[in-house]
Amino acid sequence: MQSRKKRNWTIAATVAATIAAVVVAMNFATPEKKLQQTMPHRHAVSDPQFRREMGVMLGPGLLGGNHVVALENGDEIFPSMLEAIRGAEHTINFETYIYWSGEIGKTFADALAERSRAGVKVNVLLDWVGSIKIDDALMKEMKDANVKVELYRPLKWYNLGRLNNRTHRKILVVDGKIGFTGGVGIADQWDGEAQDPDHWRDLHFRVEGPVVWQFQAAFNDNWIKTTGEVLNGAEYFPSLTDVGDLDAHMFTASPAGGSASMHLMYMLAIAASSETIDLQAAYFVPDDLIVEALLAARQRGVQVRIILPGQHIDSESVRLASKASWGDLLEHGVEIYEYQPTMMHNKMLIVDHEMVSVGSTNFDGRSFRLNDEASMNVYDHAFASSMSKVFELDLAETTRYTYETWQQRSLKEKFLESIVRPIQSQL
């Protein structure tokens, strides 16, 4: 009898372990759609063919007539977002990864609740993992005001196989006319002017014009996945006229829809570069194809400059996995700079002073293959030049990391890199 019980327990334990292993494997699986090789340099970013391929082969078409305002750090970003929210007349759609309790979280909850009580339709989509630090009181305040608050992929049995696939998008759309995207989260460390290590450096963008339709469609994508509800009609998609002269489009990516499209977008941009690549990345863990593409750019004389977080970074494992890949890049003339004052959370790519890509996407495997991401591309020389000035000002706050420094890494650092490198796509 004892033998039979022991055998049954062994079978049950084996089944449980197998189920757990399958669930873990499902969470760490990447989509089937996968790039296998780098692309040759066929045309420049300024060539109409480049825009044609970016808009037709990859995703939403380019829309003209847009106006984009770059906002720097919390002191500019949060007041602009709150002004738009408080001025809403019909609808507010808001999707974000980080929403934590604190002063900023309370201020946003108050503004969203007030507009809902005033009759505005307010829909809020928070990532379950990213918003795990939000107080129940803030959730209750919004829900009591009839704000529709939904959590993206909460801990439920039917989500177990997708718990590792999070929404990292940062999208705010007000009345279907004003859009925001960038890197900022709703938390106190983004407040201020990046004046010390407790206040992060970041960029966000206020957008008006026809491209806001694509912001709204991007929000709808995950809202439908979460609720089954389609948000349409003139209050969400009003007629939009030209308010500027910028050509832009909003890219989205998710494992369910083939997240490799974001990876491919960056690969095409790097392959089209002729003069300069300026990249700011909060998390930079390039795969072999990205490294090959950057090295190919260097071989044709492109200056490649990358600004990354320095000593102030919120994930040491990401830093270790990142640094392990720097050797070939540094040896072949890629310039890597570490931002010194605080955590640098910017996500911006500028190519040949003609194209700027901004949004939620990091330069790592998690953003390229596991997360739901959203990034806006703007094609305009004047706008790119203005963002290059922002890049240069940040560059003045960095220390250059050389190939010699990389070669002199300690044995301990190299050992830790070897531990995290095999799981770099999950960091």
Could you give the CA distance from residue 261 to residue 40 in angstroms, rounded to a whole number? 18
Question: Is 175 a known active-site residue?
Answer: yes
| Residue 367 or 389, more confident | 389
Would you say 215 and 179 are in contact if contact means Cβ atoms under 8 Å apart?
yes
Which pLDDT band, with edges at 50, 70 and 90, does 17 fall under? very low
Active-site residue identified among 177, 263, 323, 347: 347
Q: Is residue 170 over pLDDT 60?
A: yes
Could you give the CA distance from residue 338 to residue 397 in angstroms, rounded to a whole number? 8
Using alpha carbons, select from 66, 418, 52 the residue that is nearest to residue 215: 66
Percentage of the chain surpassing pLDDT 70?
87
Q: Are strands 246-253 and 203-208 parallel, antiparallel or unpaired?
A: unpaired
Which pLDDT band, with edges at 50, 70 and 90, does 48 fall under? very high
> What is the average per-residue pLDDT within 143-170?
83
Would you say 154 and 125 are in contact if contact means Cβ atoms under 8 Å apart?
no
Using alpha carbons, select from 424, 399, 404 the residue that is nearest to residue 324: 424
Q: Is residue 267 over pLDDT 80?
A: yes
Q: Which residues contact 22 (CB under 8 A, 6 or more apart)?
A: none
Q: Which residues contact 313 (CB under 8 A, 6 or more apart)?
A: 319, 343
Q: For 48-52, 166-170, 357-361, 411-415, which range has the lowest pLDDT when averaged over its residues?
A: 411-415
Q: What phi and psi values does residue 105 have, to the nearest 5 degrees?
A: -60, -40
Report which DSSP code applies to 62.
P
Question: Is 168 a known active-site residue?
Answer: yes
Report which DSSP code applies to 194.
S
Active-site residue identified among 221, 345, 364, 372: 345
Q: Is residue 161 over pLDDT 70?
A: no
Active-site residue identified among 352, 372, 380, 394: 352
Q: Which two tokens stand for residue 29?
A: 């699986």
Could you give the CA distance from residue 424 to residue 427 in angstroms, rounded to a whole number? 5
pLDDT given at position 314? 86
Would you say 274 and 354 are in contact if contact means Cβ atoms under 8 Å apart?
no
Active-site residue identified among 170, 199, 204, 249: 170
Question: Is 5 a known active-site residue?
Answer: no
Question: Is 156 a known active-site residue?
Answer: no
Q: Is residue 5 over pLDDT 80?
A: no
Q: What angle do the packed helices 136-144 and 103-117 form, to 10 degrees?
A: 10
Burial (CB < 10 A; 0-12, 13-18, 19+), residue 8, is exposed
Which pLDDT band, with edges at 50, 70 and 90, does 246 fall under? very high
pLDDT given at position 425? 57
> What is the average per-residue pLDDT within 224-245?
97
Question: Is 353 a known active-site residue?
Answer: no
pLDDT given at position 3? 58
Which pLDDT band, with edges at 50, 70 and 90, does 158 fall under? low
Amino acid at 354: E
pLDDT digits (tens, 9 = 90+) for 279-311: 999 999 999 999 999 999 999 999 999 999 999
Question: Is 332 a known active-site residue?
Answer: no
pLDDT given at position 14? 45
Active-site residue identified among 127, 168, 247, 364: 168
Which pLDDT band, with edges at 50, 70 and 90, does 159 fall under? low
Q: Is residue 24 over pLDDT 70?
A: no
pLDDT given at position 18? 39
Could you give the CA distance from residue 234 to residue 228 in angstroms, rounded to a whole number? 20
